[in-house]
Structure 1
């Protein structure tokens, strides 16, 4: 009986790990390229089918060609999506229509004597209503 290390030397293990790493990296690039391709509104269905066919028939060349041609535009599209998301988050988070803001404003009005206790309770119920 021989040792497992003698049957599968260190350099073979490293080569297998390198091949596996490259395979996983290629799939990552493939998913990025296909995801970007289908998010592009200006590309026809036939052009998308052509890119997909190229990526399947000549996998490495197809993905690298897509990234080389569309790489700069991919970054611009991703930045635009991120800006829209950030603007949405800012618009939602800075909104003064939250229950806490409504309660704080009602409390301020009560303390200033602008409203009475019954009106304050009504505003509280409205703010806490789902």
Structure 2
């Protein structure tokens, strides 16, 4: 008997496995190129292996350098977070029309004042006076 619903299920399963395979292949290729500790010859060797024998090449790469892929992701996330924080500091510091360093110092001082107020070392009035003096 012919089961068209079962055939549709199998076609969708193979399609999703193919998409998963492409995602994994591109992920490995991206990791090869962003790896800083690998030499150019090492990158070329891995690329030749991945292109000529894709299934074996990707499987070997995951076995040999799979842990490094996670480390590369963590390093990239840290680098992006640092860049975002640096941008926020620069944008907040240059909003007053002055030099970025002066505004950055003011932002740091305001943060310290807020921390002192939160810890209970400053009253609301002292905080408001110090804030007005700092922003003047």
The TM-score range, normalised by the shorter chain, is: 0.5 to 0.7
Shift of the alpha carbon at 1:35? 0.3
- Structure 1 gaps, min length 5: 1-5, 106-110, 116-130
* Bigger Cα Rg: 1
Within the candidate set 79, 86, 89, 2:84 is matched to 89
Partner of 1:38 in structure 2? 33
TM-score by length of 1: 0.65
TM-score by length of 2: 0.62
Root-mean-square deviation over aligned CA pairs: 2.9
- Structure 2 gaps, min length 5: 107-131
Q: Deviations over 1:65-93 (max 9, x none)?
A: 21222111111111111111111111220
Distance 2:82 2:40 in 1: 30
Determine if the alignment matches structure 1 residue 14 to structure 2 residue 19: no
Distance 2:72 2:93 in 1: 32
Distance 2:36 2:64 in 1: 17
In the TM superposition, structure 1's runs of 4+ consecutive aligned residues that sit over 4 Å from their partners are 102-105
Distance 2:16 2:57 in 1: 19
Within the candidate set 58, 72, 77, 1:77 is matched to 72
